[in-house]
Every structure is written in structure tokens, then in C-alpha cells.
């Protein structure tokens, strides 16, 4: 194996942004977790009200261990809320909860990008695990075609991150409209809830930037291998 300083030229900016995004989401969530929302409703109550209002009474709301582990499970059709949102009435909680309900509505409406993302999951899993290994093996063996296969495999993971971004932003936009349309936030609450959702979205931007930086790095190496072979 060898040390390539060019890797850090590609990777460090995306890595730095990713670390900042993680800090931003944690600090923003912590800040607004201490601010009670105007209605006094807990995350679980907000979720149930929003789901029922959309005719999604068959979707359950369940607790899941941990903090910031909230998610919508499309297979089980369950909105799972972490301990930091389930039973709390903070502004941060209602923003996160409404976001997950937004995913449930996307699922109910067969939202195209969400369906595409679901279809890419197995490809992304294989690409993220096998792609770098196959690429590095191609480099070690000086086998251009093998390294190219590794890049193509990893592109599946990059495509997954690319389609994830609009899905998440759409869920956040739906969340804010739902809260406002059903009178569950004041303008003061809405501003703080939006900050929580915007901070969370940065982590998806960071994931996409990291994937793009790795693709560009692989492409640069492949270009060099091609020139040596010519």
C-alpha cells in the first residue's frame, strides 16, 4: 500500500464540512430541546395528530432507544421516535417529529424520489462496501478495468446520497407546512423548528459531498492509470 497526499486534497474539505455539520445539528438540537413549544404537545401527540389529519391512522407511533434516532420505517409503516422527542414538548421535538411524518406521507403518496431511494438501497450497500475494496485491488494489481468496476460500484452509493438530499428536504418542507396548516406552531416556534431541520439537512449535504469527493479522487487515479497504459 502507499500514501497518496492527493487523497487529502479531495477528502479533507468534505470531511471538515461533515464534522461541522455533525456539530451544527447536535448543538442546534440541544439548544431548542430546552425551548417548550407553544401548544404543550409532546412529540408523540404531534405525530398522532398529524398522521390522523392525513388519514394515516394505520401508521403507528412507537418509541425507539437513543437520542436523535427518529425515523420512519416504510416496511412496518411505523414512525419511531427517540427518547429525546417522544415524550417531550420542545420545539426541536415537534420539528423532528413532523419531518418523520413527512416521510410517512411521502410513502403514502408514492413519492417518486423516495421510491427511487428505496430501490437504490441494496445497490448503495454493495457499492459502499465492495466499491472501495475492488478499486484498491485494481490499483494494487495495476488492473484498470478492475479499478473501473470499483468506481462504478461506488457510484451506486453516491447516487443514493444524491437522491437522499431532495427526499429529506421535501420531508422537511412538508413538515413545516403540516405544522403551520394545523395550527401546531406559532411563527416563533416555526422559526426555531426550521433551524433544527435545516441543521439536520446539512448532514445529508455532507454525505453527498464526501461521496462526490471520493468519486472524483477515484476518477483522477483512473485517468492517470489510463495515461500510463496508453
Task: Tell me the catalytic residues.
Answer: 100
Cell readout for 87 is: 415524550
Q: Using CA atoms, how far apart are residues 70 and 190, in angstroms rounded to an integer? A: 20
Helix (H, G, I), strand (E, B) or coil at 127: helix
Q: Where are the beta strands (DSSP E) in the chain?
A: 60-64, 71-73, 78-82
Residue 39 CA from chain centroid, whole number:
28
Q: Using CA atoms, how far apart are residues 30 and 28, in angstroms rounded to an integer? A: 5
Burial of 149 per CB tally in 10 Å (0-12, 13-18, 19+): middle
Helices (H) and strands (E) in the chain, counts: 7, 3
Amino acid at each position: 500500500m502507499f500514501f497518496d497526499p492527493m487523497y487529502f486534497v479531495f477528502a479533507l474539505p468534505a470531511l471538515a464540512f461533515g464534522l461541522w455539520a455533525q456539530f451544527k445539528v447536535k448543538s442546534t438540537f440541544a439548544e431548542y430541546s430546552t425551548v417548550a413549544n407553544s401548544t404543550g404537545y409532546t412529540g408523540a401527540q404531534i405525530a398522532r395528530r398529524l398522521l390522523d389529519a392525513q388519514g394515516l391512522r394505520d401508521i403507528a407511533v412507537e418509541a425507539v432507544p437513543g437520542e436523535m434516532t427518529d425515523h420512519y420505517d416504510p416496511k412496518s409503516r411505523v414512525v419511531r421516535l427517540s427518547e429525546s422527542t417522544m415524550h417531550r414538548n420542545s420545539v426541536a421535538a415537534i420539528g423532528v417529529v413532523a419531518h418523520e411524518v413527512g416521510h410517512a406521507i411521502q410513502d403514502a403518496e408514492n413519492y417518486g424520489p423516495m421510491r427511487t431511494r428505496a430501490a437504490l438501497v441494496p445497490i448503495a450497500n454493495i457499492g459502499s462496501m465492495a466499491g472501495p475494496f475492488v478499486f484498491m485491488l485494481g490499483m494494487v494489481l495495476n488492473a484498470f478495468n478492475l479499478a473501473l468496476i470499483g468506481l462504478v460500484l461506488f457510484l451506486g452509493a453516491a447516487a443514493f446520497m444524491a437522491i437522499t438530499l431532495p427526499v429529506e428536504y421535501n420531508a422537511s418542507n412538508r413538515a413545516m407546512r403540516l405544522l403551520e396548516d394545523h395550527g401546531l406552531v406559532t411563527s416563533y416556534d416555526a422559526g426555531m423548528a426550521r433551524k433544527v431541520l435545516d441543521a439536520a439537512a446539512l448532514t445529508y449535504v455532507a454525505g453527498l459531498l464526501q461521496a462526490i469527493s471520493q468519486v472524483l479522487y477515484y476518477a483522477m487515479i483512473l485517468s492517470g492509470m489510463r495515461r500510463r497504459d496508453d
